[in-house]
A = this chain, B = another copy of it.
Amino acid sequence: MTKIIECVPNISEAINKEVVREIIENLKVTGVKILDYSSDTDHNRTVITFVGDIETVKKGAMQVARDAVRLINLRYHRGTHPRMGAIDVIPFIPVRDVTMEECIEISKEVGKQIGAELNIPVYLYAESAMSENRRLLPEIRKGEFEGFFEKIKNPAWAPDFGPSEVHPTAGVTAVGAREFLIAYNINLNTEDINIAKNIASSIRESSGGLRFIQAKGMLLSEKKCTQVSINILNYKKAPLYRIFEIVKMEAARYGITILESELIGLMPLKAALDSLAFYLQFPELTEEKIIESKIYE
Query: Which of A's residues lie within 8 Å of B, judged by CB?
Result: 4, 35-36, 93, 95-96, 180, 240-241, 244, 258-263, 266-273, 275-276, 279-283, 285, 287-296
A283 near B267: Cβ-Cβ < 8 Å: no
Contact B267 A280 (CB under 8 A): no
Contact B95 A295 (CB under 8 A): yes
Is the Cβ of A260 less than 8 Å from the Cβ of B276?
Answer: no
Asked if B279 contacts A291 (CB within 8 A), the reply is: no
Q: Is the CB of B241 within 8 A of A280?
A: yes
Q: Is the interface of A mostly helix, strand, loop or mixed?
A: mixed
- The answer for the CA separation of A270 and B289 in the assembled complex, in Å, is 13
**A293 with B271: CB separation less than 8 A:** yes
Q: Which chain B residue shows the least CB distance to A264?
A: B289
B282 lies within 8 A of A262 (CB): yes
Chain B residues with Cβ below 8 Å from A36 are 288-289
Chain B residues contacting A258 (CB-CB under 8 Å) are: 281
Contacts A4-B295, A36-B288, A269-B293 supplied; 4 other A-B pairs, CB < 8 Å: A266-B290, A267-B291, A268-B292, A276-B279
